[in-house]
Structure 1
Amino acid sequence: MNRLSIGPQLRTTSVLVVHLLLINLNRGLSKLIGSSQPIVATVGDDIILPCHLEPAVDVAAMTLEWTTSDPDPRFVFVWRAARELVLSKHPSYKGRTSLFTDELKQGNISLKLSEVKPADEGKYQCFIPKLNETSFVELLVGAAASPVISLTGIDGDKDGVVLQCESKGWYPEPELLWLDAEGKILSAGPTETVRGPDDLYTVSSRVTVEKRHSNNITCRVQQRNINQTRETQIHVPDDFFQFNIQSGSPPPSTSSPAVTVGLAVSLVVCIVFILLLVFFLWKKNMIKLKKCQWGENDHAAKKNFSKSKTEEQISIKEEREGEQLMRKVEKIKHIKEKQAEVQQLQEERMETNNTEVNQLKTDVQKLKEEKQRSEDQRQKLEKELETKKQEVHDLLRVSLVLHVCL
């Protein structure tokens, strides 16, 4: 009975021992496999750095480390006790690295890197301390953008046109080439390179295209490390060369900004002329008003010699009319002040847009209308004054006749 009961237990224990030995044997034979070729990524992309065990072994409970060859930052991702150690990760990788946790049991410890930056470029190490297995993956980061060609001027010495090519947003630093229609490299000026705060490069270069060259010119920007090439072609018409030979300058531009500036300048000149005309008319009216005031003063002096009751009443009326005239003068002075304000506004906003110019024209028109109304009122007052003078003259005659009769 004892032998029968011990037999199954021995068999079960033997199976477990053999199973554990097989697992340990597999662990000893498993190797970490990365990538023999560099992984090329574009700035802003999400990429995967491959790393897995062959044969597959469950590594979910093991410690896993992703590091870089650069001591700062070193730790990119650390997995321990079935969870990520966030505090061990360098801040520059925060929220951008992760593992495929569902595939850890199959020995897949590939690293997902999101929103790749130029600074991420380098060699990464995948390491399992328990198995003492290491694998390396090299990451190349690149960025490319299409170039833009523009016509910048004329070279009178060579009877050619000057083209400029610029391309923004490259990494690593690219090279720029000028090619003719046959693919031959043109001799151009030095390439200017600027590196921005985002670590991306901007390159630009100029070339003089002569009549002997073909009309189709290509600007090519390339980066061999990331195997990226961008190019743009431009066609230079024969008219450019013909016009340059005859006059030594580029063909006239039909650019609308130049026409707009010319119209704006003409409009401003017209407004200045209108303002000067209004000022001249206003000054002329002021001289007439002063003459009227002098005439009124002379007339008032004559009335002082008369002591009759009728003359006193007329004097009172004339004084009232004089007050009205003074109010008109003050009103005209106010108009002058407004005109001065308009003129100052015109000087300050010589470079403003058409809307402001139209507003100035409206103000000038209002001033002209107000001036016309003032002129009409002045003429009316002059007529009334002449009438009053005639009445006074008649009253004086009547007074003299009565005096003689008495």
Structure 2
Amino acid sequence: MTQLNGFSIIKMVHQPQNISLKKVLVAELKFGFLLLICICSGQSTETTRTQLVTAMVGDDVVLPCHLEVPLKADELEVEWGRLDLNPRFVHQWFEGSENNDDQNIVYKGRTSLFTDRLKDGDASLRLKGVKHSDNGRFRCYDAKKIDIYFVDLLVGSISLPGIGLAALDESKNGVKLDCSSAGWYPEPEIFWLDGEGNIMSAGPTENLKGPDGLYSISSRVTVEKRHNNNITCRVQQKDINQTREKHIYIQDGLFVPPSNCSVSVSFSVIFGLILLFGVAAFIWKWRLTKKSMKELKDEMKEEKHQLLKEEKDLVAMKKSDLEKDLKKRNQDVRSIAEHIEVLMKMSKEQKEQKEQLTAQRLETEEIIKKNENTLNAVYSDIENHRESRMDKRAQGFLKLREIITESNEILTKHVEFTPEKLIEGKTQEVKKLKERKQEIENHVVEIEKELKEMEEKISQLRQKPAKFSTPR
């Protein structure tokens, strides 16, 4: 942008890629010629025509711009911009097409021209979803004629006011009302109206601007009793032509009646009596409650002592039973131990008897073996000597054989008797007694453990302090 004699001349430096070098040169020559005319004439082509467009947040608006001399759409060079932004470009049209490569990011997808109206010189800009940040001056620049048009956009916002009862005003026999409303732009005004629509005298207005740029306004008024108690709070903004109202009806019962000396004295006396009775009732109730609390505390203490005594008796009884059981178990253990000792002794004696019998059996087997050898010798002798004189001798030997055989059978029966089965039976009995002894010993250990726990519990009960909480 080149500054010259107080006005601005904008040179379109961004050219579409499809424009030939010849067209670029022609455009530059035209620009130089127009610049020369402006310098020579010494007059500004900037127009002072400015229009105001108002809208509410979220509305779609049209910013008007009408060129004096209509041109073909492919010959127009129009730039919409805001000089307070960087980049300043809002929307651009260059020789038949939109060229928004340098468009400010806040307006991406929100702007467009009425292309069917360009032939009539209508270069108005359509802006969608306006915001408070869109407030400002927009410039429509005609690069062909170097004409400039300005449009001021004012985006407003409003909200409903709220009325509430603030306090009673006894001095004026009235009530005080508060009215407030937030989220306004531009700065609003607030009024109070009576039932006939007349403006009421109110206190100072408080108008605050928040960090978001929006205004909050509030006011207070004192209303006296009248024939029409309909009150209206009105908040308005003339620039955007917006008004919001809130109505309230004040019932007669809210107004304070006029003060009277006798009534005040009577009221004071009644209030004093009520207060006195109230204090007396409170003291009586407090004493009664204190007495009840003391009785309840004593009752709880007695009950606690009784419970502790019963618990101690129960624990002592259980301990006594356990001690008796332990004593009986110990006697059983000693009895079983003595029985086991006797059986072990008997088993040992039986083992010694077994060894003696084994030795006797071996000796008897030797005798039997000798008798058999002698008998065999007699048989041989009889077979070898068959004379008649030997018959008597043979008969004697046969008798001897019968005696020896009978003796062997008796010895064999005596030797075959052993106490092994008796020893085995005693051993099994000893084993069972040992197992029973082990069970009893385990039970004794458990009883001793329970007795220890009982003693600890009794000790705790004896050492436990009698603490009682006072009921509320």
Normalised by the shorter chain, which TM-score bucket? 0.5 to 0.7
Indicate the SS of the match to 1:60. Answer: helix
Contact 1:218 1:231 survives alignment (8 Å): yes
Q: Residues 191-202 of structure 1: matches in 2 within 5 Å? A: 191-202=205-216
Code of the residue aligned with 2:132 in structure 1: it is: P
Is 1:205–2:219 an aligned residue pair? yes
Is 1:235–2:253 an aligned residue pair? no
Q: 1:60 to 1:162 in 2, by over 3 A?
A: farther
Equivalent residue for 1:95, pick from 97, 109, 124? 109
Residue number in structure 1 paired with 2:171 = 157
Equivalent residue for 1:288, pick from 295, 300, 306? 306
1:159 CA drift (Å): 2.5
Q: Quote the Cα distance in structure 1 between the aligned partners of 2:126 and 2:297.
A: 78
Q: 1:308 to 1:99 in 2, by over 3 A?
A: closer
Contact 1:169 1:201 survives alignment (8 Å): yes
Residue number in structure 1 paired with 2:72 = 58
Residue number in structure 2 paired with 1:45 = 59
1:173 CA drift (Å): 0.2
Equivalent residue for 2:188, pick from 170, 174, 192? 174
Contact 1:176 1:220 survives alignment (8 Å): yes
1:147 CA drift (Å): 1.5
Contact 2:173 2:257 survives alignment (8 Å): no
Q: How many residues align?
A: 271
Q: 1:38 to 1:302 in 2, by over 3 A?
A: closer
Is 1:137–2:151 an aligned residue pair? yes
The normalised TM-score by structure 1 is: 0.53
1:134 CA drift (Å): 2.6
Q: Quote the Cα distance in structure 2 between the aligned partners of 1:139 and 1:303.
A: 102
Contact 1:63 1:80 survives alignment (8 Å): yes
Q: 1:197 to 1:300 in 2, by over 3 A?
A: closer
Residue number in structure 2 paired with 1:113 = 127
Contact 1:96 1:114 survives alignment (8 Å): yes
Q: Quote the Cα distance in structure 1 between the aligned partners of 2:326 and 2:89.
A: 117
Contact 2:163 2:179 survives alignment (8 Å): yes
Q: Residues 267-346 of structure 1: matches in 2 within 5 Å? A: 286-296=304-314
Contact 1:159 1:241 survives alignment (8 Å): yes
Contact 2:157 2:183 survives alignment (8 Å): yes
Contact 2:182 2:216 survives alignment (8 Å): yes
Q: Quote the Cα distance in structure 2 between the aligned partners of 1:279 and 1:101.
A: 96
Q: 1:297 to 1:149 in 2, by over 3 A?
A: closer
Farther off after superposition, 227-236 or 131-140: 131-140
The normalised TM-score by structure 2 is: 0.47
Indicate the SS of the match to 1:79. Answer: strand
Residue number in structure 1 paired with 2:201 = 187
Code of the residue aligned with 1:99 in structure 2: it is: L
1:187 CA drift (Å): 2.2
Indicate the SS of the match to 2:164. Answer: strand
Contact 2:191 2:235 survives alignment (8 Å): yes
Q: Quote the Cα distance in structure 2 between the aligned partners of 1:134 and 1:308.
A: 118
1:302 CA drift (Å): 8.3
Code of the residue aligned with 1:48 in structure 2: it is: V
1:107 CA drift (Å): 3.0
Contact 1:193 1:203 survives alignment (8 Å): yes
Indicate the SS of the match to 1:125. Answer: strand
Q: 1:305 to 1:85 in 2, by over 3 A?
A: closer
Whichever of the two has the greater Rg, that structure is 2
Contact 2:184 2:216 survives alignment (8 Å): yes
Q: Quote the Cα distance in structure 1 between the aligned partners of 2:145 and 2:183.
A: 43
Structure 2 unaligned spans of 5+: 1-44, 265-295, 332-446, 462-472
Contact 2:178 2:218 survives alignment (8 Å): yes
Q: Quote the Cα distance in structure 2 between the aligned partners of 1:64 and 1:161.
A: 62
Contact 2:117 2:123 survives alignment (8 Å): yes
Q: 1:195 to 1:213 in 2, by over 3 A?
A: farther
Contact 2:51 2:150 survives alignment (8 Å): no
Code of the residue aligned with 2:195 in structure 1: it is: A
Contact 1:39 1:140 survives alignment (8 Å): yes
Code of the residue aligned with 2:217 in structure 1: it is: V
